[in-house]
Amino acid sequence: MKIIVCGAGQVGGQIALRLSQEGHSVTVIDLDPDLIQRMTDRLDVSGVVGHAAHPDVQERAGAVDAEMLIAATQIDEVNMIACQVAHSEFNVPQKIARVRAKGYLENRWSDLFRRDHMPIDVIISPENEVAKVAVSRLRKPAAFDMSSYFDGAVSIVAITLPPDCAVLNTPLRQLTELFSTLSAQVLAVRREGRLQIADANDQLLAGDQIHVLSTAADLDRTIAIFVGERKAVRNVVLIGAGNVGLEVAELLEQTAPDIRLRMIERDRVRAEYAADRLNDAIMLNGDGLDADILEEARVGAAEAVITLTDDDRANLLSAALCKQAGCALTIALVKDTVLANLAERIGVDITLNPRATTVSTILRHVRRGRVRAVHVIGEGEAEIVEAQILSTSPIAGKRIRDAGFPDDSVVGAVLSDGKVKLPHGDLTINADDRVVVFVLSKRVREIEQMFRVSVEFF
């Protein structure tokens, strides 16, 4: 596929990296010649220096025969106009834009992005995506990563096994015998920094990070088996009432009214604005690194603190201070991967990366076949893909053992006739079934081909 990526920043750069690794023809547009030079030196991509919304720049980037344009610059208006130009001048079939300003995203302005107005096929809102991830972490505090599939019928959670885990040194194949009524499966294990697909003979060790799939009905029980019972989150402190912080607070008020929420915001005007937007949250005006403010917010008694300012360092330090004060769960918004790697050492339990969530959303629309969801693991080491099987797919009508799933991949679950089925070798995958696959990045292209429409369809 020929794809133009507008913006060579963190999101655009990561998207270009993933797509080029998978063999797509990628051209990156950016105003900064140094960024373009670094991209073309490091990746197998072409680069064009210029303004992404200018027709002549898009023409030089190959928009005449491009199949997709992904607009991921830092400026919403540039992204929107870039999509308009790609549609009006070059008839690019699919256009994806990152739009951050909440004013554009309100339901009453949804007509703005109709094909005959501002033709954008997919709008990605990093703030909204991060807010949903943050709220999901509060619902399942034992998991440091979580994603849902089959419209919420199954979830895959990432858990670090504690020293007192009840099933340590137990081969995975025995877990099925021990918990015969449990609808769950361990899909992958990270040990000593290496992520690998789980084997039936593997034994789990303390400190392992596992990715385990469970049906919604058994999710709480599954988590309890691996990490024990955890106290529900009721008292939450949010530090930072910017776009992300306010989005999280509003989502919590809508979906978790039983949570008691306190917020800390340094800027008085912004604090007053956020207080007016929220119904029940208690707003404190002050610095999230100020010990007196943290004490006033009672972070030591909170079940969770989420730091959501625009400063990665401040988020990590504030979360670490809250952990020292006695907070059970600390979550920090961290865009810088290098800084995120320090989180565990200083007592921060979970980091949120808006780039990773945005990239996952964009990849879902890039994948061929009827892909319904994509979740990127870590810095792109693996993906979880949910796809619907078309009648002309090469695996339709085949048993799992005969379908040719590559090494370094595993089928997590199949949704057939509305019923979730955990996989076994003799399970047949039929047309219209939906399948969840955990796959290491080097095999993603092979999995994508398995979900494609066969040539005979045409």
pLDDT tens column, 74-92: 999 999 999 999 999 999 9
CA distances from 415 to 25, 153, 188, 198, 338 (A): 34, 9, 20, 21, 38
Q: Does a structural domain hold residue 73?
A: yes
Residue 121: pLDDT band with limits 50, 70, 90 = confident
Q: Does a structural domain hold residue 457?
A: no
At 318-351, the pLDDT tens digits run 999 999 999 989 999 998 888 888 888 898 988 9
Q: What is the mean pLDDT of residues 156-175?
A: 91
Same domain, 376 and 436: yes
Is residue 269 within 8 Å of 276, Cβ to Cβ? no
Residue 219 in this model has a pLDDT that exceeds 60: yes
Report d(CA 338, CA 235) in Å as an integer. Answer: 30
Q: What is the mean pLDDT of residues 384-411?
A: 91
At 273-284, the pLDDT tens digits run 999 999 989 999
Q: Which one of 303, 338, 357 terminates a domain?
A: 357
Report d(CA 246, CA 308) in Å as an integer. Answer: 9
Q: Does a structural domain hold residue 416?
A: yes
Q: What is the mean pLDDT of residues 249-264?
A: 92
Residues 428-441 as b or e (16 or more Cβ within 10 Å = b): ebeeebbbbbbbbb
Residue 17 in this model has a pLDDT that exceeds 50: yes
Is residue 375 within 8 Å of 384, Cβ to Cβ? yes
Residue 141 in this model has a pLDDT that exceeds 90: no
Task: Supply the pLDDT for residue 368.
Answer: 57
Q: Which one of 194, 227, 260 terminates a domain?
A: 227
Is residue 128 within 8 Å of 186, Cβ to Cβ? no
* Structural domain for 371, as ranges: 365-451
- The DSSP call for residue 189 is E
At 437-457, the pLDDT tens digits run 999 988 888 888 887 643 333
Task: Supply the pLDDT for residue 65.
Answer: 94
Q: Which candidate, 92, 7, 23, places its Cα nearest to that of 355?
A: 7
Q: Which one of 175, 193, 227 terminates a domain?
A: 227
CA distances from 225 to 202, 217, 221, 229, 413 (A): 17, 14, 6, 8, 20
Same domain, 219 and 138: yes
Same domain, 36 and 118: yes
Q: What is the mean pLDDT of residues 359-365?
A: 77
Same domain, 11 and 111: yes
Strand pairing class (370-377; 382-388): antiparallel
Question: Which two tokens mark 230?
Answer: 């955890």
Whether the CA torsion 179, 183, 187, 193 is positive or negative: it is: negative
- State the CB neighbour count (10 A cutoff) for residue 17: 19
Torsion of CA 48, 51, 52, 53, to 10 degrees: -140
At 98-116, the pLDDT tens digits run 988 877 777 776 677 766 6
Same domain, 196 and 242: no
Same domain, 346 and 399: no
Whether the CA torsion 360, 199, 145, 427 is positive or negative: it is: positive
Q: Does a structural domain hold residue 15?
A: yes
Helix (H, G, I), strand (E, B) or coil at 101: coil
Residue 158: pLDDT band with limits 50, 70, 90 = very high
- State the CB neighbour count (10 A cutoff) for residue 301: 12
Same domain, 242 and 350: yes
Task: Supply the pLDDT for residue 384.
Answer: 93
Residue 26 in this model has a pLDDT that exceeds 90: yes
Same domain, 327 and 381: no
CATH number at residue 394: 3.30.70.1450
Residue 119: pLDDT band with limits 50, 70, 90 = confident
Per DSSP, the residues of 282-319 read EEEES-TT-HHHHHHTTGGG-SEEEE--S-HHHHHHHH
CA distances from 181 to 176, 177, 422 (A): 8, 9, 12
Q: What is the mean pLDDT of residues 183-207?
A: 92
Task: Supply the pLDDT for residue 458.
Answer: 27
Q: Does a structural domain hold residue 329?
A: yes
CATH number at residue 319: 3.40.50.720
Q: Does a structural domain hold residue 456?
A: no
Q: Does a structural domain hold residue 458?
A: no
Is residue 231 within 8 Å of 303, Cβ to Cβ? yes
Same domain, 17 and 55: yes
Predicted TM-score (pTM) of this structure: 0.75
Task: Supply the pLDDT for residue 390.
Answer: 86
Same domain, 217 and 152: yes
How many independent structural domains does the chain possess?
4
Same domain, 168 and 212: yes
Task: Supply the pLDDT for residue 367.
Answer: 65
Is residue 387 within 8 Å of 371, Cβ to Cβ? yes
Same domain, 350 and 390: no
> What percentage of the chain has pLDDT greater than the value 90?
59
At 29-74, the pLDDT tens digits run 999 999 999 999 999 999 999 999 999 999 999 999 999 999 999 9
HSE-up of residue 146 (Cα within 13 Å, Cβ side): 25
